Amino acid sequence: MAHILIVEARFYDHLNDMLLAGARAAIEAAGHSHETITVPGALELPGAIVLAEDTQRFDAYVALGVVIRGETYHFEIVSNESARGIMALTMDGIPIGNGVLTTEDEAQAVRRADPAQFDKGGGAAEAAIAMLALKQRL
C-alpha cells in the first residue's frame, strides 16, 4: 500500500472540493492511503512537493488546482510555470499526477473538476499511482 500526498492550491473552494473528491476516491479505490496539504496557489505546488519529498513519508503526489484565464498575462505565467515545475520534478523520478486545471472560464473548470463528468482529480490520482507502479517495476 502506498501513501500518497495530495497537494492542493486552494483558490476556488467549490472546484477544489470536486477535484479532491475525485482524487481521494481514486486513491482509496486503489487501496492506498493519503494525506492532503494546501498551498496558497499553483506556483507553490512544486515547492511543496519538494518539501514533502524531503521527509521521505510519501510514495507519490497528486497536484491539484484551478487556474482560470483572466484579463492579464498572469494566467500564462501561473499555468506555464506551475506545469514546468511539476514536470521538472517528474523528470527527477518523483511520481506526480498533475491535476491543475487551466481553463478559459469557470464552466470549463466545473466540467473538468466534477467527478461525475471529466473527473480530472481522479485522473491525476490514477496517473500518480500508475507512475509509482512504473517506478517500482523499473
Binding-site residue numbers for 5-amino-6-(D-ribitylamino)uracil are 11, 42-44, 66-68, 98
Answer yes or no: are the C-beta atoms of 109 and 101 closer than 8 Å: yes
Annotated binding site for (2S)-2-hydroxy-3-oxobutyl phosphate: 71-72, 112
* Dihedral pair phi/psi, residue 137, rounded to 5°: -70, -35
Annotated binding site: 11, 42-44, 66-68, 71-72, 98, 112
Radius of gyration of the chain from its Cα atoms, rounded to whole angstroms: 14
Side chain identity at 120, as an amino acid letter?
A: K
Specify which residues 8 forms β-bridges with. Answer: 38, 64
Residue whose cell numbers read 500526498: 5
Catalytic positions: 74
